[in-house]
Amino acid sequence: DTEVTQTPKHLVMGMTNKKSLKCEQHMGHRAMYWYKQKAKKPPELMFVYSYEKLSINESVPSRFSPECPNSSLLNLHLHALQPEDSALYLCASSQDREAFFGQGTRLTVV
């Protein structure tokens, strides 16, 4: 299994909603990532978890809250988002320099 699975694929949420994005991998990778990608821009790193501990937080607003419950799962909790947070959110995992990406969650904040 060389897949990174993200759910949901699409999400529409209001500015007062609380929602979560989920990411799962069963490759035994110890590094997991969240990226945000706006149209026609490169993916921007948000968070990195290494061995289930947050190792990099790229100055992401607190309305985005990551969580790594175990070595296979990575969540991104969303609360009080703004319309400009609408983007594709990509999860990735890596081991030995090779990163595998999920298909992303297309998030729209209304």
Local structure of residue 16 (DSSP, 8 states): T
Closest separation between CB of residue 77 and another protein, Å? 21
Smallest CA-to-CA distance from 90 within 77, 107, 78, 68 is with 107
* Cβ–Cβ under 8 Å, residues 99 and 32: no
Cβ proximity to another protein: between 66 and 102 the closer is 102
- Which range of residues in 15-23, 36-44, 61-69, 70-78 is near another protein by CB under 8 A? 36-44
Local structure of residue 30 (DSSP, 8 states): S
**Peptide bond before 66: cis, by omega within 30 degrees of 0?**
no
d(CA 32, CA 51): 9
d(CA 71, CA 33): 12
- Which range of residues in 19-27, 67-75, 77-85, 97-105 is near another protein by CB under 8 A? 97-105
| 56 is a contact residue toward another protein (CB under 8 A) | yes
| 18 is a contact residue toward another protein (CB under 8 A) | no
Closest separation between CB of residue 83 and another protein, Å? 23
| 15 is a contact residue toward another protein (CB under 8 A) | no
Residue ranges that bind another protein, judged by CB under 8 A? 4, 31, 33, 41-45, 48, 50, 55-56, 90, 94, 97-104
